[in-house]
């Protein structure tokens, strides 16, 4: 591509895109907090407009990482159907037994997601022993992974949280469109604001990440992007649909081991009233550095 030609993905030209690549990768890697995984009491599948999130949750369920999946999110997605219902349907489509799915439909933001998902888990037993929920795997859109863990640290500090953000290619940053870069800036700024307000426990942002934020913001400004970035309409950032930031992986599952993902859609069943569980207060704090 000639350097004078406009770049794909919304950048003014190829040099503009290249200048933003390094800072974007630093910010993305910081936001998309990822932990080594271990079997846990439940998978919490956070609502969003990203269709890859329930795919990742289903994948972890089939790896026997947890006996339950909670879909959480009350924001409408398809017509009047909320995130939690849409994601629950997708989980069933991917072979997660409906009786292993809890559906939380009232949350409107990440704080609600954590509080209400944990309340839903407190209604049921894990099926292993009558003990509290002491560990969860948080499956999120990658830009909010760190904030989700930091929200758990604020609301349920004695629950071990392992973060497994959903990306089309694990470990590879989302495609750096202008929309994705704006999301990265907005989400890091939000993380800082929420920490200052005492809403989350995220800890200080490393100096190299703060510097990358300044550089990425400058790249967006020079590219003609307004700041601060704000959502324009439901699921959009200045007109860029969230689900275009990264290509969904629904059609990328080609291995024979993925046969289970071809199951027909069934109505999710919500587990309820199988005995209360309490969050055990003596369990160690959430793992991983923040």
Evaluate if pTM is beyond 0.85.
no
Give the pLDDT score at 9.
72
Taking residues 202-208, report their average pLDDT. 96
The DSSP line for 85-132 is HHHHHHHHHTT--GGGEEEE----SHHHHHHHHHHHHTTS--SS-S--
Q: Residue 67, exposed/middle/buried by CB under 10 A (0-12, 13-18, 19+)?
A: middle
Contact 234/189 with Cβ under 8 angstroms? no
Taking residues 63-78, report their average pLDDT. 94
The CATH architecture to which 23-272 belongs is 3-Layer(aba) Sandwich (3.40)
Q: How far apart are the first and last CA of the chain?
A: 40
Strand 69-72 to 240-241 pairing: unpaired
Tell me how far apart the alpha carbons of residues 226 and 16 are, in angstroms, rounded to a whole number: 16
Taking residues 255-284, report their average pLDDT. 30
Range picked from 17-21, 183-187, 252-256, 263-267 for highest mean pLDDT: 183-187
* Whether the predicted pLDDT of 234 surpasses 70: no
Tell me the per-residue pLDDT of 120-160, one tens digit each, with 9 for 90 and over. 999 885 444 435 799 999 999 999 999 999 999 999 999 99
Contact 183/143 with Cβ under 8 angstroms? yes
Nearest to 165 by CA among 137, 187, 194, 191: 137
Sign of CA dihedral 195, 199, 202, 203: positive
Sequence-distant (≥ 6) Cβ neighbours of residue 194 within 8 angstroms: 147, 150, 200, 202
Count of Cβ atoms closer than 10 Å to residue 122 Cβ = 13
Contact 104/116 with Cβ under 8 angstroms? yes
Residue 3 to residues 15, 176, 217, 221, Cα–Cα distance (Å): 6, 18, 21, 19
Tell me the per-residue pLDDT of 134-145, one tens digit each, with 9 for 90 and over. 999 999 999 999
Give the pLDDT score at 216.
96
Q: Which residue has the tokens 């990265």?
A: 184
Give the pLDDT score at 260.
26
Give the pLDDT score at 16.
85
Residue 145 to residues 29, 47, 151, 176, 259, Cα–Cα distance (Å): 10, 12, 10, 18, 29
> Which range has the worst mean pLDDT, 59-68, 131-140, 198-207?
131-140
């Amino acid at each position: 591509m000639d350097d004078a030609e406009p770049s794909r993905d919304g950048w003014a030209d190829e040099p503009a895109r290249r200048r933003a690549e390094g800072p974007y990768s630093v910010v993305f890697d910081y936001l998309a907090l990822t932990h080594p995984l271990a079997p846990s009491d439940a998978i919490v599948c956070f609502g969003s407009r990203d269709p890859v999130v329930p795919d990742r949750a289903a994948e972890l369920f089939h790896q026997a990482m947890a006996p339950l999946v909670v879909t959480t999110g009350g924001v409408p997605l398809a017509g009047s159907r909320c995130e939690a219902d849409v994601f629950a349907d997708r989980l069933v489509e991917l072979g997660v037994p409906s009786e292993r799915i809890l559906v939380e439909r009232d949350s409107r933001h990440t704080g609600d997601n954590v509080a209400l998902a944990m309340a839903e888990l407190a209604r049921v037993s894990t099926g292993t022993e009558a003990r509290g929920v002491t560990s969860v795997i948080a499956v999120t859109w990658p830009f909010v992974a760190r904030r989700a863990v930091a929200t758990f640290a604020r609301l349920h500090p004695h629950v071990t949280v392992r973060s497994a953000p959903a990306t089309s290619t694990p470990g590879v940053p989302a495609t750096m469109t202008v929309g994705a870069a704006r999301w990265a800036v907005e989400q890091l700024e939000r993380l800082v604001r929420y920490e200052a307000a005492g809403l989350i426990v995220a800890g200080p942002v490393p100096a190299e990440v703060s510097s990358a934020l300044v550089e990425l913001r400058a790249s967006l400004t020079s590219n003609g992007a307004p700041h601060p970035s704000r959502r324009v309409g439901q699921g959009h950032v200045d007109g860029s649909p969230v689900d275009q930031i990264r290509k969904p992986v629904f059609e990328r599952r080609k291995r024979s081991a993925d046969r289970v993902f071809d199951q027909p859609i069934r109505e999710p069943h919500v587990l309820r009233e199988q005995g209360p569980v309490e969050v055990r207060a003596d369990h160690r704090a959430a793992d991983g550095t923040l």
